[in-house]
Chains A and B, each alone.
Chain A
Amino acid sequence: MARVSLTIDGNRLEVDAGATILQAAKGAGIEIPHLCYLESLPPSSACRLCVVEVEGARNLVASCSYPVVTDMVVRTNTERVAKARRLALELLLSDHPFDCMTCEKSGACDLERYAYELGVSTTRFQGEKHAYPIDETNPFFVRDYNKCILCGRCVTACNEVQFVEAIDLTHRGFNTRVAAPFDRPLQESTCIFCGQCVAVCPVGALTEKLRRFKGREWELRKVATVCPYCGVGCNIELSVKDDRIIKVTSPATGVVNEGRLCVKGKFGFDYVNSPDRLTTPLIREGGKDGRFREASWEEALDVVASRLRQIKEESGPDSLAVTTSAKCTNEENYLLQKFARAVLGTNNVDHCARLCHASTVTGLGMAFGSAAMTNSIGEIRYADCIFIIGSNTSENHPVIALEVKEAVRRGGAKLIVADPRKIEMVEFADLWLRQKPGTDVALINGMVNVIISENLYDAEFVQRRTEGFEQLKEGIKDYHPSYVAQITGVPADDLCKAARTYARSPRASILYAMGITQHVAGTDNVLALANLALLTGNLGKESSGVNPLRGQNNVQGACDMGALPNFLPGYQLVVDKDVRGRFEEAWQTPLPDQPGLTLMEMMHEAEAGEIKGMYIMGEDPVLSHPNSARVVKGLKNLDFLVVQDIFLSETAKLADVVLPGVSFAEKDGTFTNTERRIQRVRKAIEPIGESRADWLIISELASKLGHPMRYEGPEVIMDEIASLTPIYGGVHYDRLNGRGLQWPCRDRQDLGTRYLHKDQFPRGLGKFHPIGYQEPSELPDDEYPFILSTGRVLFHWHGGTISRRSTGLTGIYPEAKVEINPQDAEVLRCSDGDLVQVVSRRGKVIAKAMVTDRSPQGVVFMTFHFREAAANLLTVDTLDPVAKIPEFKICSVQINKCS
């Protein structure tokens, strides 16, 4: 890049051409006051506070937008400059409430700061002042535009960073103001309450509700950690006062999200300090129908230890089962699977990944030899083509959706969205394929067929890096576009267009999630996608790949840690004698050698009486598993159930002993996000009540069962993990500050891996699998004429245990809704807001109808966030034969309007 030299305040310096004066000065350590300019946003040049003198220029110039020129001479602190700045401030203050003593922004307000620095305490201008009503109508933040200085940062952030465009500068002259359309409240606009506007506002015009009167800026302690909600793993900072989280912010330097958040990460944290938190262990008295009473840790752990020991002795170790938690840390998942294997002696250990990406683990395992996002989140914006299938990205992985929008809006990437629902990403798409639910294999095979028959595949890559091409060719030859159109409902032309666009793009990236995996054909779906990427050489390079978007904050980590019945940590096979030998030596005990039961099998075996005792940590199967009635039956049939959680979940209500664990804010550890990045989680507040860090509970229990686990802290546990898990071999806490590490990271010298499969696949060659289309397990018929699909919405999380205890999230989305297509609604004679009963062969629930063309005709959609209208009473528990993942996405239901 060309360089330019100039002089600022007598210092000679050289900067990149194209820099502004403000940037150049900053690089030289000279700070220029600025109110409207923000480093990450394009300048709006509205405030004139950043003016400087440029030799030869008649007027002062705004340094935030004025580019440097060779040999320019700049003065930033002359009397003339100071005067102009004071004038600019006085003008702003003439229409600003002098409210600093109660303003939440005080201490972090730029206007206050510069007024102080430039000594402006009064204003000579006594003009008309605004008296806008303060908008407190949304549950997340207060909008007081009397304090607004019209810098425009919020508008830029909303438009250019979050791509929402909910607000703009409106009206003119004295009445100019930031507003949503028709000056209506934000909740009536397209606003998604990401809080980006709040984050960039330099003054107190936009402030978080939860922090009100809870602490002044200078009293807050900041703790850098990771968002506890989704697998994106956004970097956040908790502001803490008196053992309470007051607000959440995100540093612009955060490696994963660059300061961007979604509503859950920004505003959904108050569940941590919820009055509903479990604060002491509970023991059920008087048999299965008895009541809970509070107990000491000593007593509760003794009961758990003795009951587990008793069941093990009487019925053998395999009558016990353990589920770990994708919400807990890596260290805790590691310890709990170790507890299952080394202390209880069973491989019956699994967790909720079985319900979301088990088919990814099996499918990508078969095709490549390892299952995780092949590429990094930050690479998405440089892709030439992005193919989203079965992922409602903007609601479920909001910050990843921003990367896709970046790619489309700034990088000119072509976006192909395949989804039966008209999800928000469709608005950004070049091509939308609305396939019928459950016909993904046919759709993808169709694309493969077109690519092969039009010779668009990467023959060199296929030849050098793959095997099984001939079988694939044979296997997909029937899937010509017209045949596929019959199955999927996608016009042949669109299919061809999609295939060509994907194949011709130099870097094409596939993003998928539960719309692919949660099917009886889940593994097939994943294999079909792997075929597509292998065929076009879109693997082993930047901004391409096959990218399963993982749901939970640490579901990737829980899998990595071996919380799976067939794998020890690092996907090392339980049945491999050498592998077992290493773990037996390290853990100093013989280990069971046969794979254990998967999550759904555990529940079914509990029902059958084969599993007698269960240890559930941080999971709520009653709400999150399909066919809940059967789950409850199974759990009730157990001799002993212990649940470790932070709330009395629906599952905990069935337990014999409840152990209070802690939230992410009360412990140290690591989470591994969807792009394989291991990041530090840091303790910000003390455990609530008597609750204890989950890793502590597990180690104490292990010690009671005669297998002492004495760890000084999570850091030491990670050292043990590193010593036994080759892909985590170089992961140590001292290396995790800042950017974290992406596995594989084999030793201390290894900087981690941004994208996988560069020179070869873990299994050697990538393998094609010819896959045939098969119908979903339950199809609509006369009695149950609708397809029910389930999923999440932006504002809630899974069973709702935590998100429904966030005042903001519940405030904006308080109850369950059933999405119904307008044509269907007409036939059913129901309109928006009517109560409808949704009935399947397994159960029925009542919820409010939401009439929208988002759902196609014949398909209704529900979330599983609400226990009063638990969608999983309806879903089927038919399993994918390989991955044992249930078909959450399709079952058939009838809809009746309630009278």
Chain B
Amino acid sequence: MAENVDLSILAQILEKYESQSGNLIAILQEAQEAYGYLPGEVLTHIRRETKIPLSRIYGVVTFYAQFYLTPRGRNTVRVCRGTACHVRGAKSVLRTVEHFLGITEGETTADYEFTLETVACLGACAMGPVVVMNGRYFGKMTAAGVETVLTAL
């Protein structure tokens, strides 16, 4: 990966938190905000400055759903896979989205327009199958319906 990451922003964040190991989560949050995700180089640099082992940083980053190790698309599409949605055909909705975007769940399109994720249950079972686009809920989705929504975006 030939990442060209400008580490000076990170340096400011680290300075703000005095590179204290107790502030790891806050440092990671701000770094993600600045870079959009957490590139390997950023984590390695955090390790260098805070002396927190890279293995532990990686453990923390992968533990919390909020952190991303790969670049995110400008739009996030979440398809619910909860039981209620599932029985109402979430699977074919997901397949349609995958087909439409040309990626599978967990991936981002090459032009960084879309990131596709699935979630266990969004708690909106009555509306299932549910798809969330950039935070907006779309209920009672069908294969055809989801295409319309995606095209509209």
Contact = CB atoms under 8 A, between A and B. Distances in A.
Interface of A: 159, 165-172, 179-182, 189-190
25 contacts: A159-B53, A165-B54, A165-B56, A166-B53, A167-B55, A168-B56, A168-B59, A169-B59, A170-B55, A170-B59, A170-B62, A170-B63, A171-B62, A171-B63, A172-B62, A172-B64, A180-B55, A181-B43, A181-B54, A181-B55, A182-B40, A182-B58, A182-B69, A189-B55, A190-B53
Interface string B25-60: 000000000000000100100000000011111110
Contacts of B43: 181
A172 B58 CA distance: 12
Contacts of B57: 181
A190 B64 CA distance: 24
A167 B58 CA distance: 9
Contacts of B40: 182
A172 B55 contact: no
Query: Looking at B43, B54, B57, which has the most chain A CB atoms within 10 Å of its CB?
Result: B54
Contacts of A167: 55
Contacts of A180: 55, 58
Contacts of B53: 159, 165-166, 168, 190
A601 to B, nearest CB: 49
Nearest to B57: A181
A189 B57 CA distance: 13
Nearest to A191: B55
A407 B55 CA distance: 23
Contact of A168 (B55, B64, B69): B55
Contacts of B56: 165, 168
- Interface majority SS (helix, strand, loop, mixed), chain B: helix
B64 to A, nearest CB: 8
Contacts of B58: 168, 170, 179-182
A168 B55 CA distance: 5
Nearest to B53: A165
A170 B63 CA distance: 6
A165 B55 contact: yes
B105 to A, nearest CB: 14
Contacts of A181: 43, 54-55, 57-58
Interface in B62-88: 62-65, 69
Contacts, number: 43
A190 B52 CA distance: 13
Contacts of B55: 165-168, 170, 179-181, 189-190
A179 B60 CA distance: 12
Query: Looking at A167, A181, A189, which has the most chain B CB atoms within 10 Å of its CB?
Result: A181
A171 B59 CA distance: 6
A166 B47 CA distance: 12
Nearest to A171: B62
Nearest to B54: A181
B54 A172 contact: no
A179 B63 CA distance: 12
A165 B43 CA distance: 15
A181 B60 CA distance: 11
Nearest to B56: A168
Contacts of A166: 53, 55
B59 A189 contact: no
A383 B54 CA distance: 29
A165 B53 CA distance: 6
Given A165-B53, A181-B43, 5 more contacts: A166-B55, A168-B59, A172-B64, A181-B54, A189-B54
B85 to A, nearest CB: 19
Nearest to B44: A181
A181 B55 CA distance: 5
Contacts of A159: 53
A170 B58 CA distance: 7
Contacts of A170: 55, 58-59, 62-63
B2 to A, nearest CB: 16
A189 B69 CA distance: 17
Top 4 nearest A-B pairs (CB, nearest first) are A165-B53, A168-B59, A168-B55, A181-B58
B114 to A, nearest CB: 23
Contacts of B63: 170-172
Nearest to B52: A165
A167 B69 CA distance: 18
A181 B64 CA distance: 15
B107 to A, nearest CB: 16
A586 to B, nearest CB: 58
Contacts of A171: 62-63
Nearest to B59: A168
B122 to A, nearest CB: 17
Contacts of B62: 170-172, 179
A190 B54 contact: yes
A168 to B, nearest CB: 4
B117 to A, nearest CB: 14
A190 B59 CA distance: 15
Query: Looking at B57, B59, B69, which has the most chain A CB atoms within 10 Å of its CB?
Result: B59
A179 B62 CA distance: 11
A167 B62 CA distance: 13
A172 B63 CA distance: 5
A171 B60 CA distance: 8
A167 B59 CA distance: 9
Contacts of A189: 54-55
A180 B53 CA distance: 10
Query: Looking at A165, A166, A167, A182, which has the most chain B CB atoms within 10 Å of its CB?
Result: A182
Query: Looking at B57, B58, B64, which has the most chain A CB atoms within 10 Å of its CB?
Result: B58
Nearest to A163: B53
Contacts of B65: 172
A831 to B, nearest CB: 16
A179 B56 CA distance: 10
B81 to A, nearest CB: 14
Contacts of B59: 168-170
A39 B26 CA distance: 36
A171 B63 CA distance: 4
Nearest to B58: A181
A179 B69 CA distance: 15
B59 to A, nearest CB: 4
Query: Looking at A165, A166, A167, A168, which has the most chain B CB atoms within 10 Å of its CB?
Result: A168
A182 B69 CA distance: 9
Contacts of A182: 40, 58, 69
A169 B55 CA distance: 8
A190 B53 CA distance: 9
Contacts of A172: 62-65
Nearest to A176: B63
Nearest to A158: B55
Contacts of B69: 182
A190 B62 CA distance: 19
B69 to A, nearest CB: 7
A190 B43 CA distance: 15
Nearest to A175: B62
A311 B148 CA distance: 101
A165 B54 CA distance: 8
A432 to B, nearest CB: 15
A159 B64 CA distance: 22
B118 to A, nearest CB: 14
A171 B57 CA distance: 11
A225 to B, nearest CB: 33
A690 to B, nearest CB: 50
Nearest to B47: A181
A754 to B, nearest CB: 35
Nearest to B40: A182
Nearest to A167: B55
B123 to A, nearest CB: 18
A308 to B, nearest CB: 58
A353 B79 CA distance: 70
B141 to A, nearest CB: 26
B76 to A, nearest CB: 20
B16 to A, nearest CB: 24
A180 B62 CA distance: 12
A643 B62 CA distance: 58
B86 to A, nearest CB: 15
